[in-house]
Amino acid sequence: MNQTPPLCSFNLRRSVLSVPAINLRALEKSHSLDCDAVILDLEDSVAPEKKAEARENLRRFFAGPPLEGKERIIRINSLSSEFGAADLDLVTALLPDAVLLPKVDDPRDVTDISDLLADADVPEELRIWAMIETPRGVLNVGAIAETGRTPASRLDCLVVGLNDLRKETGVLPQPGRSFLVPWLMQVILAVKAYGLDALDSVFNDFQDAEGFDVECGQGRAMGFAGKMLIHPGQIAAANRHFGPSAEEIAEAQAIISAFADPAAEGLNVINADGRMIERLHLVQAEALVHKARLISARKPA
Same domain, 90 and 220: yes
Same domain, 230 and 98: yes
Same domain, 230 and 265: no
Same domain, 207 and 254: no
Task: Name the β-bridge partners of 269.
Answer: 278
Domain boundary, last residue among 242, 257, 281: 242
* pLDDT of the chain, 301 residues: tens digit per residue: 333 334 444 689 999 999 999 999 999 999 999 999 999 999 999 999 999 999 999 999 999 999 988 999 999 999 999 999 999 999 999 999 999 999 999 999 999 999 999 999 999 999 999 999 999 999 999 999 999 988 778 999 999 999 999 999 999 999 999 999 999 999 999 999 999 999 999 999 999 999 999 999 999 999 999 999 999 999 999 999 999 989 989 989 989 988 988 877 888 888 877 788 888 888 888 888 998 998 888 755 4
Own/partner long-range contacts of 283-290 (Cβ < 8 Å, ≥24 apart): 283/7, 284/7, 284/252, 285/251, 285/252, 285/253, 285/255, 285/256, 286/252, 286/256, 287/7, 287/8, 287/10, 288/244, 288/248, 288/249, 288/252, 289/249, 289/252, 289/253, 289/256, 290/10
Residue 43 domain-assigned (yes or no): yes
Specify whether the backbone of 32 is left (phi greater than 0), alpha (psi in -120 to 50) or beta: alpha
| pLDDT at position 275 | 82
Pair 131, 102: CB distance under 8 Å? yes
| pLDDT at position 3 | 38
| pLDDT at position 300 | 56
CA-to-CA distance for 10 and 29, rounded, in angstroms?
Answer: 26
Pair 114, 153: CB distance under 8 Å? yes
Nearest in space to 139 (alpha carbons), one of 169, 112, 109, 106: 106
Same domain, 162 and 283: no
Q: For the chain, what is the domain count? A: 2
Same domain, 157 and 250: no
Look up the CATH number of the domain holding residue 127. 3.20.20.60
Pair 301, 36: CB distance under 8 Å? no
| pLDDT at position 240 | 96
| pLDDT at position 2 | 37
Exposed/middle/buried for residue 261 (C-beta within 10 Å: 0-12, 13-18, 19+): exposed
CA-to-CA distance for 162 and 178, rounded, in angstroms?
Answer: 13
Domain boundary, last residue among 219, 242, 265: 242
What is the residue range of 280's domain? 246-297
Residue 2 domain-assigned (yes or no): no
Same domain, 182 and 262: no
| pLDDT at position 189 | 98
Q: Read off the pTM.
A: 0.90
Same domain, 46 and 195: yes
